[in-house]
Chain A
Amino acid sequence: MASASTSKYNSHSLENESIKRTSRDGVNRDLTEAVPRLPGETLITDKEVIYICPFNGPIKGRVYITNYRLYLRSLETDSSLILDVPLGVISRIEKMGGATSRGENSYGLDITCKDMRNLRFALKQEGHSRRDMFEILTRYAFPLAHSLPLFAFLNEEKFNVDGWTVYNPVEEYRRQGLPNHHWRITFINKCYELCDTYPALLVVPYRASDDDLRRVATFRSRNRIPATGGGYESDDAYHNAELFFLDIHNIHVMRESLKKVKDIVYPNVEESHWLSSLESTHWLEHIKLVLTGAIQVADKVSSGKSSVLVHCSDGWDRTAQLTSLAMLMLDSFYRSIEGFEILVQKEWISFGHKFASRIGHGDKNHTDADRSPIFLQFIDCVWQMSKQFPTAFEFNEQFLIIILDHLYSCRFGTFLFNCESARERQKVTERTVSLWSLINSNKEKFKNPFYTKEINRVLYPVASMRHLELWVNYYIRWNPRIKQQQPNPVEQRYMELLALRDEYIKRLEELQLANSAKLSDPPTSPSSPSQMMPHVQTHF
């Protein structure tokens, strides 16, 4: 595995809170160099603060705020703690303590993040340092409330691959063998007039005429007709339709459940009754229900060769979860890096999962009832599957984590806005960079070494509490005491063996070459084999 780099383009997700005792060389460098900056990123301010680290106690540091991130560097000699937080992950900024507050470090800011952590800074009571910092943070963390653009529109990063080209609907439908004599492609929604939250291009039953579709649309929330992968209520076009209900709770329940998870893992992990505390959050239970639903869908499709209608009240939360998970189970293509990107692009982004509302990009209203971790829940389900099938996915855990990190970061345009028509209006593909550009230009880092490419294998995960686990490396990653070994020792071992294999093959070829040379021309032996490989066996 590539080692975690702290290069300028810090693509290594957000895992930067680390204490490095070895590298102190950068401390005295120029200020502008002290903060990693993306092209288009500008430094707004910097301040001396005390970072109240929940794990290592208060640390004096300098915080730099840019239009993209909050960056903190320790000023203490025995710690080189670095905090690198995109402002997009901030959901709430609160002042703590008042002018009369006494006690050490009682005056400052408390920042709630969407990625399962809180940041606390203590500031001096004199001057207006807290007010300044509060205002600047508020302004740049919630740009929409201040008529500022999201950072994605300012980002000038360049990558050698263009992530926006990853998903091409016509190509993808063709890969699935569509259109065929059951399904046809329609441009009825070309100008988003039938359904403004659906993509321009749709695949619908062959026998359903465009007029039918218009009629059906009027019955559905915001005219969201059932499209590919699904059927719809008019049963002459859909025989073999079977109805089953899944008891999955609503988005508000999910939000509260995640909150409870945070309560038991941050800053301290509930120790004495870990399992029952975890149970009381119901998070894994919800994961189980979603997976169970997806398994049902996948099983219906794979056993009956029938199509399945998946729907929820408006068809953009559960539907996306269930269809995309079912596709992941059924079609091994989606288990590759690129396939997964296409899946997200198709089932989530294109079909109008309301990312803007569910995540609240750049919006200060942290209590908004529309927010809900629906996409996180989907990624969690994918992680659960990857745990049960360690060789079935081309991507690794880091891949899923970086997707979640940039779900919030607003550095890329990928997850912005609620639907395709809004993205088109904002010219997202022209004015922003795609997250897939970052990932695809550095694919090696996100590859699962155990991946075994397989065709036609349907995955049936076991949706049982016996196998579902809390995703520690995501939900508890900020806690250095809980964090698991990185890189994963098993993956690391595999990579070492791969390297060893290649080395042996190389040597073997060299030797064979040398030996054949020896045979044809005995007197000259350029390098004796024993010289060549003195330490081959020491690895074992």
Chain B
Amino acid sequence: MFSLKPPKPTFRSYLLPPPQTDDKINSEPKIKKLEPVLLPGEIVVNEVNFVRKCIATDTSQYDLWGKLICSNFKISFITDDPMPLQKFHYRNLLLGEHDVPLTCIEQIVTVNDHKRKQKVLGPNQKLKFNPTELIIYCKDFRIVRFRFDESGPESAKKVCLAIAHYSQPTDLQLLFAFEYVGKKYHNSANKINGIPSGDGGGGGGGGNGAGGGSSQKTPLFETYSDWDREIKRTGASGWRVCSINEGYMISTWICNAITKSHPQRSDVYKSDLDKTLPNIQEVQAAFVKLKQLCVNEPFEETEEKWLSSLENTRWLEYVRAFLKHSAELVYMLESKHLSVVLQEEEGRDLSCCVASLVQVMLDPYFRTITGFQSLIQKEWVMAGYQFLDRCNHLKRSEKESPLFLLFLDATWQLLEQYPAAFEFSETYLAVLYDSTRISLFGTFLFNSPHQRVKQSTEFAISKNIQLGDEKGLKFPSVWDWSLQFTAKDRTLFHNPFYIGKSTPCIQNGSVKSFKRTKKSYSSTLRGMPSALKNGIISDQELLPRRNSLILKPKPDPAQQTDSQNSDTEQYFREWFSKPANLHGVILPRVSGTHIKLWKLCYFRWVPEAQISLGGSITAFHKLSLLADEVDVLSRMLRQQRSGPLEACYGELGQSRMYFNASGPHHTDTSGTPEFLSSSFPFSPVGNLCRRSILGTPLSKFLSGAKIWLSTETLANED
């Protein structure tokens, strides 16, 4: 337990991690005036007092009193009241416990009890009644509800309209990140490159890893050297980095990649993703159904048909399809020694997901935190995955599709099956997903690097920001986790089960020998689909439009499609008959019994689904204590070896673990902490207006827990 006290109302406190000493529960200092905590560039556009935040639908006894504000970044509920029942166990430095970033808002519903009216608020809409209630459906599965019984009816209405307006901007440059970065450039005009070094905010930073242990920077693949290093790391000797696309002239998106192919290009295996995988609309439809099922529908009523309903969403089926197909490509690369070309109409959706999954399976480096981040940077951000459209930051829903979440989900399936193979935890994956909903990080804001440069240059000109020789504004990178979490909280990203190699393969730019039995390649080549018919590939056609590569030096005879399936089967069967080498290839088990629902991600806001004092976190906790104890012992051993002079040196090392053993021999004395639950570190209380659940546990199971309103019933407003 740590830092439960609200940050002081300055923006410095947001950007600097609080001191590490606040490990106790502080009695919350009373803030006399309810003042919002604002970021640079953030302004309050509307606010209303005497608002009640509802905690449960069946009782108002836990409701919180406070002020609701709408800024150009978030909606914020500011209260003196402590959170009832259950506390959050991590906090986002950018957002208060009750805050919702505007880009996280899915739907805004206003209600008037007395007139029995409800309306889903779009942008620029009128509201003919004074709302008594406001319900916010969030993209991260939360549902937040406020009541205005005691507030001024007009100001309540204004706030609702403001939220509707600001959460649905029409122009990219209206997203808060621009305002924030613009402010930062102005504030630090005298500093080189605009952004003060050290806060890692710029594209060049990438931030340090998740916490104590890893101080490695995440390569952003914006520069020649990142690519060059990656090529050396993967041993792809037949490839070179080319800067021909420096001016984004080859295509509208990035192609600062490798253009020379391998001599044996005839042995390329072409995988037509459009034919084998669900398309983005189907993935989106599955996600909508999944969300409806997990959070919107009444808990009790969905119980009886839960399994078939879950199947009907097709979400798990799609996750499985991506894993299965990626595993088959691993077979092509690993066993058949074929280069693989991913074909997709635009080559920037399904192929991002498949290319990443293939690499996570193939290369243990991408299962480290730094590696995973560099993979996302390489295969998603720089590859031109259209985060802006797919996340639907501008509310043009026809292009929305949660492929990135699907990738995180598929990664979670691998993590679930190989818990010791990943440096990161499932909390990390969930937090990463949440971060796509915060419109501050350049990482998830644009449709392509080119768009970032173009739009931010325009913005800079309009705001009189001198860019110098920089290409566009540098936005904060999501990989700079210190912007969001304290060092202590970041330790939650570490998977205590991980069995890592002692050192990563690159240090100071020089390539250390990276042990691989065979040559191993970490990227896939994506080609243009139309030109690859009939297997005839001319030099020009093979020119990858995309950024990455794969090649195998030794060609195999052309594959026979007939026997291919059974060969693949055989390969998998043999692979699974042996114990997995966690530092080599890992393959997913993809039978229906193996693909599971990622409960932490989808159930964390659902009180009825929460197992208090239970869930896998309790085993995680126990193992963390032990791992921490082993760390402490190993430090003590080192001290003993180096003698008393250096005895204090080792103490500087901060624990890698969120949960610490209090002393070397204390592992067994501590029970399961009260605050652990299957939702940890998240807490469903107060984030979903359902029946109250703490009190008697029976209400969880026995009576129909009715959710307030489901979005479905609200479709016809007014």
* A482 interface neighbour in B499, B591, B609, B697, Cβ under 8 Å: B591
Contact with B along A380-406 (1 / 0, CB 8 A): 000000001111100000000000000
Cβ–Cβ < 8 Å partners of A539 in chain B: 499
Residue on B with the closest CB to A497? B626
Please tell me which stretch of B541-549, B553-561, B631-639 contacts chain A, meaning at least 4 of its Cβ atoms lie within 8 angstroms of it: B631-639
B468 at the interface (CB under 8 A from A): no
A190 at the interface (CB under 8 A from B): no
Contact B696 A303 (CB under 8 A): yes
Contact A464 B622 (CB under 8 A): no
CB distance from B89 to the nearest CB of A (A): 18
Residues in A442-489 with C-beta less than 8 Å from chain B: 450, 452-454, 457, 459-467, 470, 472, 476, 480-482, 485, 489
Cβ–Cβ < 8 Å partners of A512 in chain B: 640
Contact A511 B637 (CB under 8 A): yes
* A530 interface neighbour in B420, B630, B641, Cβ under 8 Å: B641
Contact A464 B626 (CB under 8 A): no
Given contacts A269-B591, A466-B599, A508-B640, contact A275 B608 (CB under 8 A): no
Cβ–Cβ < 8 Å partners of B630 in chain A: 497, 500-501, 504
A476 and B593 alpha carbons, distance in the complex (Å):
10
A490 at the interface (CB under 8 A from B): yes
Please tell me which stretch of A235-243, A292-300, A365-373 contacts chain B, meaning at least 4 of its Cβ atoms lie within 8 angstroms of it: A292-300
CB distance from B1 to the nearest CB of A (A): 19
A388 and B615 alpha carbons, distance in the complex (Å):
5
Contact B698 A467 (CB under 8 A): no
B618 at the interface (CB under 8 A from A): yes
Cβ–Cβ < 8 Å partners of B21 in chain A: none
A270 at the interface (CB under 8 A from B): yes
Given contacts A269-B593, A462-B610, A464-B609, contact A493 B310 (CB under 8 A): no
Cβ–Cβ < 8 Å partners of B497 in chain A: 489-490, 493
Contact B634 A536 (CB under 8 A): yes
Residue among A275, A279, A480, A512 with the most chain B CB within 10 A? A275
A349 and B303 alpha carbons, distance in the complex (Å):
34
Contact A295 B629 (CB under 8 A): no
* A465 interface neighbour in B306, B418, B580, B671, Cβ under 8 Å: B306
B537 at the interface (CB under 8 A from A): no
B507 at the interface (CB under 8 A from A): no
Residues in B285-323 with C-beta less than 8 Å from chain A: 299, 303-308, 310-312, 316
B716 at the interface (CB under 8 A from A): no
Cβ–Cβ < 8 Å partners of A269 in chain B: 591-593
Cβ–Cβ < 8 Å partners of B702 in chain A: 292, 296
Contact A508 B633 (CB under 8 A): yes
Contact B622 A276 (CB under 8 A): no
* B698 interface neighbour in A270, A272, A278, A296, Cβ under 8 Å: A296
Residues in A289-323 with C-beta less than 8 Å from chain B: 292, 295-296, 299, 303
Cβ–Cβ < 8 Å partners of A490 in chain B: 419-420, 497, 619, 623
CB distance from B523 to the nearest CB of A (A): 28
Contact B613 A457 (CB under 8 A): yes
A276 and B311 alpha carbons, distance in the complex (Å):
7
Contact B622 A452 (CB under 8 A): yes
Residue on B with the closest CB to A281? B307
Contact A275 B700 (CB under 8 A): no
Given contacts A388-B615, A504-B634, contact A464 B303 (CB under 8 A): yes
CB distance from A356 to the nearest CB of B (A): 33
Contact A465 B303 (CB under 8 A): yes
Contact A389 B614 (CB under 8 A): yes
Cβ–Cβ < 8 Å partners of B387 in chain A: none
Cβ–Cβ < 8 Å partners of B306 in chain A: 279, 464-466
A537 at the interface (CB under 8 A from B): yes
B335 at the interface (CB under 8 A from A): no
Cβ–Cβ < 8 Å partners of B680 in chain A: none
A505 at the interface (CB under 8 A from B): yes
Contact A460 B616 (CB under 8 A): no
* B311 interface neighbour in A275, A457, A476, A507, Cβ under 8 Å: A275
Cβ–Cβ < 8 Å partners of A511 in chain B: 637, 640-641
B500 at the interface (CB under 8 A from A): yes
A93 and B589 alpha carbons, distance in the complex (Å):
34
* A460 interface neighbour in B299, B609, B670, B697, Cβ under 8 Å: B697
A298 and B668 alpha carbons, distance in the complex (Å):
27
* B623 interface neighbour in A454, A467, A493, A500, Cβ under 8 Å: A493
Given contacts A390-B616, A461-B611, contact A450 B623 (CB under 8 A): yes
Contact with B along A32-63 (1 / 0, CB 8 A): 00000000000000000000000000000000
A285 and B621 alpha carbons, distance in the complex (Å):
31
Residues in B665-718 with C-beta less than 8 Å from chain A: 668, 670-672, 678, 696-698, 700-702
Cβ–Cβ < 8 Å partners of B641 in chain A: 511, 529-530, 533
Contact B592 A529 (CB under 8 A): no
A392 and B622 alpha carbons, distance in the complex (Å):
11
A489 and B303 alpha carbons, distance in the complex (Å):
31
B492 at the interface (CB under 8 A from A): no
Residue on B with the closest CB to A19? B577
Contact B307 A276 (CB under 8 A): yes
A9 at the interface (CB under 8 A from B): no
A501 and B612 alpha carbons, distance in the complex (Å):
30
B576 at the interface (CB under 8 A from A): yes
Contact B591 A271 (CB under 8 A): yes
A538 and B634 alpha carbons, distance in the complex (Å):
11
A538 and B501 alpha carbons, distance in the complex (Å):
8
CB distance from B629 to the nearest CB of A (A): 6
Residue on A with the closest CB to B642? A529
Contact with A along B161-193 (1 / 0, CB 8 A): 000000000000000000000000000000000
Cβ–Cβ < 8 Å partners of B304 in chain A: 285, 465
B502 at the interface (CB under 8 A from A): yes
Contact A466 B626 (CB under 8 A): no
A274 at the interface (CB under 8 A from B): yes
B603 at the interface (CB under 8 A from A): yes
Contact B592 A275 (CB under 8 A): yes
Contact B623 A497 (CB under 8 A): yes
Contact with A along B579-603 (1 / 0, CB 8 A): 0100000000101111001010001
CB distance from B318 to the nearest CB of A (A): 14
Cβ–Cβ < 8 Å partners of A459 in chain B: 613-614
B357 at the interface (CB under 8 A from A): no
CB distance from A491 to the nearest CB of B (A): 9
A391 and B497 alpha carbons, distance in the complex (Å):
16
Given contacts A271-B592, A454-B672, A460-B697, contact A501 B633 (CB under 8 A): yes
A467 and B420 alpha carbons, distance in the complex (Å):
23
Contact A295 B697 (CB under 8 A): yes
Cβ–Cβ < 8 Å partners of B502 in chain A: 537-538, 540
A148 at the interface (CB under 8 A from B): no
* Interface, chain B (partner A; CB < 8 A): 299, 303-308, 310-312, 316, 417-420, 497, 499-500, 502, 573, 576-577, 580, 589, 591-594, 597, 599, 603, 608-616, 618-619, 621-623, 626-627, 629-630, 633-634, 636-637, 640-641, 664, 668, 670-672, 678, 696-698, 700-702
* Interface, chain A (partner B; CB < 8 A): 19, 269-276, 278-279, 284-285, 288, 292, 295-296, 299, 303, 388-392, 450, 452-454, 457, 459-467, 470, 472, 476, 480-482, 485, 489-490, 493-494, 497-498, 500-501, 504-505, 507-508, 511-512, 515, 529-530, 533, 536-540
The contact sample of 30 A-B pairs, CB cut-off 8 A, is A269-B591, A271-B592, A275-B307, A276-B312, A279-B307, A296-B702, A299-B696, A303-B696, A388-B614, A389-B611, A389-B618, A390-B614, A390-B619, A391-B621, A452-B618, A457-B613, A462-B614, A462-B701, A464-B303, A464-B608, A464-B701, A466-B603, A480-B577, A481-B591, A493-B499, A497-B623, A501-B626, A504-B633, A512-B640, A540-B500
14 additional A-B pairs beyond A462-B614, A504-B630, A508-B637, beta carbons within 8 Å, are: A275-B308, A295-B697, A388-B611, A389-B614, A460-B697, A464-B701, A470-B593, A493-B497, A500-B630, A504-B633, A504-B637, A508-B633, A511-B641, A515-B640
Q: Which 6 A-B pairs have the closest CB atoms?
A: A274-B592, A465-B306, A504-B633, A279-B307, A275-B311, A276-B308
